[in-house]
Amino acid sequence: MSEVQLQNCNLNIWYSLPDELWGKLAAVYESMPGWIGFKNGIPYWFGQEDEDVFICASVEPSGLSFYAQMSDDEWSSWIGKFKSEATRALGFEVGEPEDGFL
């Protein structure tokens, strides 16, 4: 089994999206592996910060920010699936702004 490590990612999903798109994004959240729900308005997958493996997200000025603790392979697979599903749901290519996704 791969070693659990801290992971993070910012995506080009901005706080200024229309409510209709935020609703579609909520459906993507729920469809992702490990979904456990919102706790105090924060979406979580697999667990919370006090557990060995978790993913959480928050909307920041830099975009939708993910913070996670899991193996590199599991993280790469999960965030890749999230980007793909979000792209399909939102109607624009979702990716990291530092990689040119605006």
- In this predicted model, what pLDDT tens digit does every residue of 19-65 receive, in sequence order? 999 999 999 999 999 999 999 999 999 999 999 999 999 999 989 99
Give the per-residue pLDDT at 2.
Answer: 74
pLDDT-based confidence at 67, cuts 50/70/90? very high
- Picking from 61, 60, 57, the residue whose alpha carbon sits closest to that of residue 83 is 57
**Average confidence score pLDDT of the chain:** 95
Q: What are the residue ranges spanned by the domains of the chain?
A: 9-66
Q: What is the pLDDT of residue 101?
A: 81
> Is 1's pLDDT higher than 70?
no
List Cβ neighbours of 47 (8 Å cut-off, separation of 6 or more).
36, 53, 54
pTM of the model: 0.93
